[in-house]
């Protein structure tokens, strides 16, 4: 099949798919009680509602996209996980006048559009604050001043539209009042291209009017999450369903969506599917609930199994939910013996460094061309038995971003142990460090044993596998530290299975403990990692020889530090 590229081809293709899907659903007994369009999707929505003829709908989308093609390369757009008013306030505070709010997708998600350089600068600033923001791949920054040069021409070319009354309720994402009846004339479509998309307001109005089941008709779901977020903001139960998903086979066509809509409470005209049949009542099922973990030895039907990571276990991609990935493994001390050497108050505890390795490994499975892990949070300490089942799940929330969690289950109760956000993308390799200069600048030396003894006073005991911190070099102010690390003999042969062995990464974490020892501190609270802001790997972890730690904050509560893990060449 031909790959469709260019806004003048992509938008008409999407329009045809959306209208075609609506017709196919009608043939399967599903007709909308109301419609909402998002940006260019309003053209298809107007046709489905009966407010535009198919010919006029084609005229709108083709002339709109052809004119936009003239502006290809003009401006950029970006999505940010911040409310609209927060974004507006920040733009005003920074004096930004070449970027505007283009889309309000949900109460938490806003899209901006405008000058490319300014957009990228804003995204970088938000990322520095750990605000989820990313540039959106578009040819033109619609819903911004970037499209002003074509608006008059668009109005002229759509002057002969002949809108009708329509037979389906229409919630406008263009008008300030989503319940107002649009004119669907040339002026409306000019506003549709230039004005902000008020998608969240349209969804909220539909929710307030009693609609609870939403179906997105598109090649891949982009708006179901926005519907769910808007509903969550009003504490309204909702079902947001996708008609198609990228790379997902449909062995039963659209009947799966029909059944999902019916199960969610939508009205389905089964006479369209079974004109000669007669509905009968069937006995209700009697459920016997059992909590079933994914089997490690037999992959479930309807799942695709790939290679196993020592801690993650087998990677199972569910064909029914291609955006969801799952792993399951036994991390108990009988299976992962080195984990028994990490003890908290004399009980084996799964180390935070292990969750870091798991999240990185999961990110590399999902985003093999480049990835990073952000906002790792260690939620609940996992104490280990001989056998301890651990499940990891990564769900693609949007392209290039996945929510990751590691959890355990006992008697049907799930306990989240750690969470993180996985991101795709590459980064420049940091500049090489001069190891000789680093060591010369840190002339005082503490042995790794001294540091581990200090941590033992705080309740953390390290067995042989966790003695990889050889020594720590300190300077007079102790704000920077240089640790020498190595893989202990007992785990050296296992390193090939890991990006970086958790025991080696933990040795780097131990380096930070030298800050208290260098300052004369002994007693205090547990020195366990609580959160990691950002984690990225640039090379093989088995080559780790040094850890440069920069203390950014230290008080009675804890320490914050930036860590650089270096090989022998810096």
Note the pLDDT of residue 304: 47
What is the per-residue pLDDT across 492-502, written as a single tens digit (0 to 9) for each? 888 888 999 99
Q: Tell whether 322 and 369 lie within a shared domain.
A: yes
Confidence tier at 555 by pLDDT (50, 70, 90) = confident
Domain end marker among 424, 446, 475: 424
Q: Tell whether 460 and 359 lie within a shared domain.
A: no
What is the chain's mean pLDDT, rounded? Answer: 90
CATH number of the domain that 472 lies in? 3.10.129.110
Q: Does residue 454 carry a pLDDT above 60?
A: yes
Q: Tell whether 178 and 210 lie within a shared domain.
A: yes
- Cβ pair 243, 250 in contact under 8 A: no
Note the pLDDT of residue 273: 87
pLDDT above 90 as % of the chain: 67
Residue 411 placed within a domain: yes
Q: Tell whether 217 and 83 lie within a shared domain.
A: no
CATH number of the domain that 160 lies in? 3.40.366.10
Q: Tell whether 15 and 123 lie within a shared domain.
A: no
Bridge partners (DSSP) listed for residue 405: 393, 419
Question: Three-state SS for 562?
Answer: strand
- Cβ pair 396, 413 in contact under 8 A: no
Confidence tier at 526 by pLDDT (50, 70, 90) = low
Q: Tell whether 200 and 171 lie within a shared domain.
A: yes
Task: Beginning with the edge strand found earlier in the chain, give each strand of the sheet holding 99-104 in spatial order.
Answer: 99-104, 110-114, 76-80, 133-136
Q: Tell whether 459 and 559 lie within a shared domain.
A: yes
Give the residue-averaged pLDDT of 364-377: 92
Residue 439 placed within a domain: yes
Give me the count of residues in the chain: 570
Q: Tell whether 198 and 51 lie within a shared domain.
A: yes
Note the pLDDT of residue 292: 63
Give CA–CA dist 243/227, Å, rounded. 15
What is the DSSP-derived secondary structure letter of residue 349? B
- Cβ pair 354, 502 in contact under 8 A: yes
Of residues 502 and 519, more confidently modeled: 502
Give the residue-averaged pLDDT of 26-34: 96
| Structural domain containing residue 126 | 76-138
Q: Does residue 374 carry a pLDDT above 60?
A: yes
Confidence tier at 303 by pLDDT (50, 70, 90) = very low
Most distant CA pair in the chain, distance? 89
As for how many domains the chain has, the answer is: 4
- Cβ pair 268, 261 in contact under 8 A: yes
Q: Does residue 300 carry a pLDDT above 50?
A: no
Q: Specify the range with the lowest mean pLDDT, choosing from 212-221, 296-305, 382-391, 543-552.
A: 296-305
How many Cβ atoms from other residues are within 10 Å of residue 46's Cβ? 28
Q: Tell whether 453 and 531 lie within a shared domain.
A: yes
């Amino acid at each position: 099949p031909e790959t469709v590229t260019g806004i003048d081809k992509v938008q008409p293709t999407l329009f045809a798919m959306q209208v075609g899907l609506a017709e196919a659903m009608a043939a399967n007994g599903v007709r909308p009680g109301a419609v909402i369009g998002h940006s260019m999707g309003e053209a298809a929505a107007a046709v489905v509602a009966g407010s535009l003829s198919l010919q006029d709908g084609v005229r709108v989308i083709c002339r709109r996209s052809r004119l936009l093609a003239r502006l290809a390369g003009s401006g950029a757009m970006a999505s940010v996980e911040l409310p609209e008013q927060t974004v507006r306030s920040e733009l005003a505070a920074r004096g930004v006048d070449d970027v505007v709010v283009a889309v309000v997708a949900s109460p938490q998600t806003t899209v901006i559009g405008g000058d490319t350089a300014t957009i990228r600068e804003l995204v970088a600033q938000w990322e520095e604050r750990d605000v989820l923001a990313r540039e959106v791949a578009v040819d033109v920054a619609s819903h911004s001043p970037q499209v002003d040069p074509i608006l008059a021409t668009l109005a002229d070319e759509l002057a002969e539209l002949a809108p009708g009354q329509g037979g389906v309720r229409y919630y406008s994402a263009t008008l300030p009042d989503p319940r107002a009846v649009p004119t669907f004339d040339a002026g409306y479509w000019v506003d549709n291209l230039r004005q902000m998309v008020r998608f969240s307001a349209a969804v909220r109005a539909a929710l307030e009017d009693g609609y609870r089941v939403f179906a997105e008709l598109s090649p891949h779901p982009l708006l179901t999450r926005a519907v769910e977020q808007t509903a969550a903001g009003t504490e309204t139960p909702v079902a947001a369903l996708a008609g198609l998903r990228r790379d997902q086979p449909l062995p039963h066509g659209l009947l799966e969506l029909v059944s999902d809509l019916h199960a969610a409470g939508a009205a389905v005209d089964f006479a369209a599917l079974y004109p000669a049949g007669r509905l009968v009542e069937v006995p209700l099922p009697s459920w016997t609930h059992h909590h079933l973990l994914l089997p490690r030895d037999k992959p479930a039907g309807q799942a695709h199994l790939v290679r196993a990571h020592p801690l993650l276990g087998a990677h199972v991609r569910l064909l029914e939910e291609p955006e969801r990935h799952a792993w399951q493994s036994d991390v108990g001390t009988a299976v992962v013996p080195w984990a028994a050497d990490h003890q908290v108050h004399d009980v084996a505890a799964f180390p935070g460094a292990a969750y870091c390795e798991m999240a990185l490994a999961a990110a590399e499975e999902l985003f093999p061309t480049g990835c990073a892990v952000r906002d790792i949070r260690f939620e609940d300490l996992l104490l280990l038995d001989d056998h301890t089942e651990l499940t990891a799940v990564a769900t693609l929330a949007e392209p290039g971003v996945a929510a990751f969690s590691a959890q355990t289950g006992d008697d049907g109760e799930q306990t989240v142990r750690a969470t993180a956000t996985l991101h795709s993308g590459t980064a420049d390799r940091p500049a090489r460090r001069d190891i000789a200069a680093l060591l010369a600048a840190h002339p005082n030396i503490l042995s790794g044993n001294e540091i581990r003894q200090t941590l033992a006073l705080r309740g953390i005991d390290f067995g042989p596998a966790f003695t990889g911190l050889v020594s720590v070099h300190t300077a007079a102010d102790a704000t920077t530290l240089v640790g020498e690390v190595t893989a202990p003999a007992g785990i050296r042969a296992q390193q090939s299975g890991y990006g970086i062995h958790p025991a080696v990464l933990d040795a780097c974490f131990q380096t930070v403990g030298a800050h208290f020892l260098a300052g004369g501190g002994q007693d205090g609270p547990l020195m366990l990692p609580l959160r990691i802001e950002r984690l990225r790997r640039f090379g093989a972890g088995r080559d780790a020889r040094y850890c440069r730690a920069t203390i950014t904050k230290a008080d009675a509560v804890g320490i914050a530090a930036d860590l650089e893990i270096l090989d022998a060449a810096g």
